[in-house]
């Protein structure tokens, strides 16, 4: 079975005190790195709930609808909530009788480390095989196709 993640994220340097971001992702690593380009001091995932991927989007919508009283409206996004929702999310998922697992900080770090190692393997494979790519034939193929002659 494939899994997705519902997450809460906090960063007191970016969000006001008591505010968190609530969202979904099927790629924790990419979601974590997304912030690294614009947050001076990187925030952290404070809760990650692993759910079946096929139910992830629906669960996120249901939870956001049920917790709309905690929603904090901003000019720049719809995913900001009072961090009091931290304990409510799990209760809602339980009430919906859905399989889930809450990752603790060690599991979060292990998951991210596993993803980093997987990406490193892909990059290493590309590096090892880059010499096998015939750049000239690729260049000739696309240059003749897109070359504009004046």
User: pLDDT tens, 69-105?
Assistant: 999 887 767 788 999 998 899 999 999 999 999 988 7
109 and 98 within one domain: no
132 has a pLDDT exceeding 90: no
Q: What crossing angle do the helices spanning 105-129 and 28-36 adopt, rounded to 10°?
A: 90
- Asked if residue 115 and residue 72 are part of one domain, the reply reads no
Do 97 and 27 sit in the same domain of this protein?
Answer: yes
Do 115 and 148 have their domain in common?
yes
pTM for the complete prediction? 0.68
**Do 116 and 99 belong to one domain?**
no
- Domain hosting residue 23, numbered range: 1-103
pLDDT at site 148: 47
Residue 142: its pLDDT value, please?
Answer: 61
Same domain, yes or no: 119 and 137: yes
Residues 99 and 110 in one domain: no
Q: Which residues are within 8 A (CB) of 17 and not within 5 positions of it... i.e. 6 or more apart? A: none
Asked if pLDDT for residue 150 goes beyond 50, the answer is: no
Check whether residue 55 and residue 111 sit in a common domain.
no
- Greater confidence (108 vs 65) lies with 65
81 and 19 in contact (C-beta within 8 Å)? yes
Q: Burial-class residue 145 by CB neighbours within 10 Å (0-12, 13-18, 19+).
A: exposed
Helices marked H in the chain — which ranges?
Answer: 28-36, 53-66, 88-95, 105-129, 135-146
Could you report the per-residue pLDDT of 7-54, keeping only the tens digit for each? Answer: 998 877 777 788 888 999 987 766 666 665 555 566 778 888 999 999
Q: Total domain count for the chain?
A: 2
């Amino acid at each position: 079975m494939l899994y997705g993640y519902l997450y809460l994220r906090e960063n007191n340097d970016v969000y006001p005190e008591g505010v968190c971001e609530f969202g979904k992702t099927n790629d924790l690593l990419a979601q974590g790195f997304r912030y690294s380009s614009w947050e001076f001091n990187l925030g952290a995932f404070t809760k990650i709930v692993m759910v079946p991927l096929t139910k992830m989007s629906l669960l996120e919508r249901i939870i956001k609808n049920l917790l709309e009283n905690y929603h904090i409206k901003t000019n720049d996004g719809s995913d900001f909530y009072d961090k009091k929702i931290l304990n409510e999310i799990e209760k809602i998922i339980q009430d919906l009788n859905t399989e889930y697992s809450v990752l603790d900080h060690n599991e979060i770090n292990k998951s991210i480390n596993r993803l980093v190692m997987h990406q490193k393997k892909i990059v290493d494979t590309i590096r090892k095989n880059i010499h096998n790519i015939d750049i000239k034939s690729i260049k000739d193929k696309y240059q003749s196709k897109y070359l504009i002659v004046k």
